[in-house]
Amino acid sequence: MKTMKNPLFGCLASALMTLTAMPALAQLQLPAPSPAAKVSQAVGVSEISVEYSSPAVKGRKIWGELVPNDKAWRSGANVATKITFSHPVTFGDKAVPAGSYAIVSLPSQKGWKVMLNTDLGLWRGGAPYDTSKDVASVSATTTAIPARERLAYLFSDTTDTGTRLDLEWEKLRVSVPITVDTAAFVKANIAQAEKNAASMHMSAASYLSDTKDHAAALKHADAAVAATPTWYAHWNRADVLSQMGKYAEARKAAQTAWDLGQKDKNFFAREQVAQALAEWKNKK
């Protein structure tokens, strides 16, 4: 006896196989309720950035209801809002090291507080807020503004030494000043640039001296001393001068290297400099 095939079952099976084989690209994409956003600002030579999720008002009462008073808030939607500082800053009136932090807010009719917390996983999977991980807790300024549908972070009144971080949503702006010691960072950058320049000049001097291009080598050795007059720069110059047969000048440079080296715990060429001073003493 033959078994009759059900045509409807065959159609359903075929359709199921087709749906199962559809590529991931065919998955339905819809707008996120709270889309991801990022804003950044250069302050002098520093950079400050904020990454957050931006919820909408959607006709709801925000302050005091959706965002309760006197209860820690993630300062956005989904997971905690993240702020990153490329250099140390003063957040409000608190010194904060460079790095990334979660922004935690404490809304209140008595005045807002804004905290920076080292736990970037706050509110992810129900992770609780631990105040012991705060690196700063400061008072914030609140201001009434025209209606804003979506929560947004902005930087305002930016100069070379500071900016203001604003959170705006519904009809409220929450602000915290951020200051940066740009002058100190610039001085450090200049010092590092000079150090790098001296190293490049010394490397060039050594290479050119080895290839017998002594005149060019001496120019680089002189430039290295001018950039950073360390014992090593003077010793590099002394070596170039000795290869040129200018022993009196070489000995003078080596003596300067010796004198400076006495103050450096890392005077690793002590024996070589001492030997050169002795050998070049009677050479002209």
The pLDDT tens digits for 6-41 are 554 455 555 555 545 555 556 888 888 889 999 999
Domain range summary for the chain, segments of one domain joined by +: 36-179, 183-280
CA distance 20 to 192: 59
Give me 16's structure tokens: 């199921």
CA distance 24 to 19: 11
Amino acid at 205: A
The CATH number fitting domain 183-280, selected from 1.10.3720.10, 3.90.550.10, 3.40.30.10, 1.25.40.10: 1.25.40.10
**39-69 pLDDT per residue, tens:** 999 999 999 999 999 999 999 999 999 999 9
The DSSP call for residue 109 is T
Tell me the CA distances in angstroms from 9 to 16, 22, 106, 123, one per residue in order.
11, 20, 60, 47
Closest CA to 33 of 55, 57, 51: 55
Give me 64's structure tokens: 């005091």
pTM value > 0.75: no
Cα torsion angle, 139, 144, 150, 154, sign = negative
Q: What is the pLDDT of residue 26?
A: 63
- CB-neighbour burial class of residue 126 (10 A; exposed 0-12, middle 13-18, buried 19+): exposed
Tell me the CA distances in angstroms from 50 to 97, 101, 120, 268, one per residue in order.
16, 10, 13, 46
Tell me the CA distances in angstroms from 221 to 2, 233, 274, 283, one per residue in order.
100, 7, 20, 21
Tokens 């001018």 label which residue?
226
**103-152 pLDDT per residue, tens:** 999 999 999 999 999 999 998 877 789 999 999 999 999 999 999 999 99
